[in-house]
């Protein structure tokens, strides 16, 4: 099974309902019916419905930037897997570095989110969002030669649920490359992507060859083509550059090489 190329826009906490709608509309118009390419938009929770409406008649998918680690209950400020599924969200990003490093999310918390997303599908909700599990080292960890140790640790949620793949996706996002304008070089990223695939296969016996592994961290039109041409890089999780329709569409275009 050939892996699709996925280009996902992580809009983070930007925009208004109007700008979210306009951006989604521009992406829908610009992408058309792309073959071999999956385009995903991840707006803030409160703009999900607007973006879902704008993309309804198109192949563009809509995902959430986060999800609660509990199925339901007294969890003020949280949004559940079932709520996202009911809206029609196809994916949920979990373990983003801003969640880990700014909001102190632990590996254990992220594991519960991964488990819940996986179990929801298994418990008869085929439309439950697919997890995009983010992993990535800080600059300090890279300089200390600990990149792969950190990534292997962050992949642990998969250990108990190897059959979650290839439905689940992975995003390698080196923390030092996020929002800095300094992307990993294609070779640097490829090295880690290949290690992630090998780890999935060896440690978890999972469907590694069919699992989509995205690269994230300062992806832009100028570097997308080179990054996406690497054998184990299956697309990108794009932050800043996903907020400008032209730039994001150029990144999508980079797939059609």
Q: How much of the chain is helix, strand and coil, in % rounded to 5?
A: 45, 15, 40
240 binds ligand PGA (CB under 6 A): yes
Residue 211 and residue 231: Cα distance in Å, rounded? 13
Give the interface segment with ligand PGA, choosing from 30-38, 57-65, 103-111, 231-239 (CB under 6 A). 231-239
Of 111-119, 138-146, 151-159, 213-221, the window that binds ligand PGA (rule: CB under 6 A) is 213-221
Count interface residues toward ligand PGA (CB under 6 A): 13
Distance CA 151, CA 172 (A): 9
Residue 60 contacts residue 24 (beta carbons within 8 Å): yes
Does 173 bind ligand PGA (CB under 6 A)? Our answer is: yes
Using alpha carbons, select from 34, 35, 85 the residue that is nearest to residue 64: 85
Cα(250)–Cα(224) distance, integer angstroms: 9
Nearer CB in complex with ligand PGA: 145/181:
181
- Catalytic (active-site) positions: 96, 173
239 binds ligand PGA (CB under 6 A): yes
Least distance CB 76 / ligand PGA (angstroms): 26
Question: Which residues, 6+ apart, have CB-to-CB distance to 188 below 8 Å?
Answer: none
| Least Å from the CB of residue 240 to ligand PGA | 4
Contacts of ligand PGA in 176-205 (CB under 6 A): 178-179
- Chain residues binding ligand PGA by CB under 6 A are 10, 173, 178-179, 216-219, 237-241
């Amino acid at each position: 099974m050939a892996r699709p190329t996925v280009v996902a826009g992580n809009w983070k906490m930007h925009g208004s309902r109007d700008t979210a709608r306009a951006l989604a509309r521009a992406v829908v118009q610009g992408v058309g019916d792309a073959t071999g390419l999956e385009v995903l938009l991840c707006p803030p929770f409160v703009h999900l419905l607007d973006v879902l409406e704008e993309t309804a008649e198109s192949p563009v998918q809509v995902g959430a930037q986060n999800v609660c680690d509990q199925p339901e209950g007294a969890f003020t400020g949280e949004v559940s897997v079932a709520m996202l599924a009911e809206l029609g969200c196809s994916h949920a990003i979990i373990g983003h570095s801003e969640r880990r490093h700014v909001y102190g999310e632990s590996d254990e918390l992220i594991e519960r989110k991964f488990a819940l997303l996986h179990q929801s599908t298994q418990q008869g909700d085929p439309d439950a969002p697919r997890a995009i599990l983010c992993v990535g080292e800080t600059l300090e960890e890279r300089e200390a030669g600990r990149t792969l140790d950190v990534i292997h640790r962050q992949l642990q949620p998969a250990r108990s649920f190897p059959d979650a793949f290839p439905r689940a996706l992975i995003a390698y996002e080196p923390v030092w490359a996020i929002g800095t304008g300094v992307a990993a070089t294609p070779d640097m990223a490829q090295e880690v992507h290949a290690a992630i695939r090998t780890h999935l296969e060896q440690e978890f016996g999972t469907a590694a060859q069919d699992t989509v592994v995205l690269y994230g961290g300062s992806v832009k039109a100028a570097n997308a083509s080179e990054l996406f041409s690497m054998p184990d890089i299956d697309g990108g999780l794009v932050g800043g550059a996903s907020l400008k329709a032209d730039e994001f569409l150029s990144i999508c275009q980079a797939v059609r090489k």
